[in-house]
Amino acid sequence: MARTILVTGGAGFIGSALVRHLVRETDSVVVNVDCLTYSGNLDSVEPVSDSDRYRFEPVDIRDPASTRRVFADHRPQAVMHLAAESHVDRSIDGPAAFIETNLVGTFHLLDAAREYWQELAVGDREAFRFLHVSTDEVYGSLGTSGYFTETTPYAPNSPYAASKAGADHLARAWHSTYGLPVVTTNCSNNYGPFQFPEKLIPHMILTALERKPLPVYGDGGNVRDWLYVDDHVEALLLALEQGIVGEVYNIGGDAERENLEVVRQICALLDEMRPRQDGSPYEEQIAFVEDRPGHDRRYAIDSDKLRRTLGWQPRRTFEAGLRETVRWYLENETWWSRVRSGVYRGERLGIL
């Protein structure tokens, strides 16, 4: 019998990529639990929504009764927890939503999973897994050298990072105290198709097409390690299926780039794929703006543990993944124009 996997946040960017992969590449029944906040978009799972192995539950994980009902109705063999408020700038403007969803919501989900798991038969209890998906931002900021490892002390600097760090500690505690079989992953910056356009790469693509200034924070020298979303999804499945209970696995793309370099690469790809009629380069739209408060200078992930123990490695170079991403946005205006017509129109967020 096919296993049932409960995916929280399955209408978000990474969650929808995971849902699409699970439905297309496995025989699992996939239960998408998402309350459809501004960045949740069912258009992102539309390619697989007609499958008889796909279910949608419009449930908020902050609602304990509804969350428990989902467990009772669907009887999952695994949970992949991705539901989260995720944008640093928004966490500066409104931290309460991040605490409520990322921390309180994770608590309710963990406790519902614990109650459900404790009532399972022994064999089912041993097979059950709870994958908690987190971020490298919990580790804080790196200097010009070194990498985050699974033992790097937590030092979150933004409300978003702090809320995710708290959720990580809850997941660890529910394993240590109650025995819930939790595996945790911490990933670097994801990019790819279907990403909400408040994030750097899609924001720059669409803003460039609109002939507006491309806002680069500070001097543009902040460094991020970029991970193509489908490579991340494959790593998550490996961690779920082969990861050791109680362990943490860092997932990085080995693709450190300064933000300014990323923006310039996007401009060059647009010059090639959608040249301006007057022949002028998109790079002339770059505009340096005031940095955001508490902007971490550099993130870089050491994912050696995942590679060595589970055999994972990213399939795409950053250059190949970025080209694929730019092409997708150029060819899917219907998707992003509906997003752009709603609650987010490309405005700057996170200014005190």
Tell me the pLDDT tens digit for each residue of 220-277: 999 999 999 999 999 999 999 999 999 999 999 999 999 999 999 999 999 999 999 9
What is the per-residue pLDDT for 323? 98
Do the Cβ atoms of 109 and 61 come closer than 8 Å? yes
Domains of the chain, CATH where assigned: 4-194+228-254+295-315 (3.40.50.720)
Average pLDDT, integer, range 184-189: 97
Average pLDDT, the chain: 95
Q: Say yes or no to pLDDT of 31 above 50.
A: yes
Q: Residues of 246-271 as b/e, b for ≥16 C-beta within 10 angstroms?
A: eebbbbbbbbbbbbbebbbbbbebbb
CB atoms within 10 A of CB 294: 15
Task: Number of helices (H) and strands (E) in the chain: give both, helices first.
Answer: 13, 12
What is the per-residue pLDDT for 167? 98
What is the per-residue pLDDT for 350? 47
Residue 116: pLDDT band with limits 50, 70, 90 = very high
Say how far apart CA 112 and CA 127 lie, in whole Å: 17
What is the per-residue pLDDT for 338? 84
Residue 1: pLDDT band with limits 50, 70, 90 = low
Say how far apart CA 104 and CA 256 lie, in whole Å: 33
Q: Record the tokens describing residue 126, joined without a space.
A: 């041993």
Q: Say yes or no to pLDDT of 68 above 60.
A: yes
Do the Cβ atoms of 15 and 41 come closer than 8 Å? no
Say how far apart CA 330 and CA 34 lie, in whole Å: 27
Report the catalytic residues. Answer: 136-137, 160
309-340, pLDDT tens digit by residue? 999 999 999 999 999 999 999 999 999 988 87
Do the Cβ atoms of 203 and 348 come closer than 8 Å? no
Q: Say yes or no to pLDDT of 347 above 50.
A: no
- Give me the half-sphere count of Cα atoms (radius 13 Å) on the Cβ side of residue 192: 22
Residue 342: pLDDT band with limits 50, 70, 90 = low
Average pLDDT, integer, range 64-89: 96
What is the per-residue pLDDT for 340? 75
Residue 313 one-letter amino acid: Q
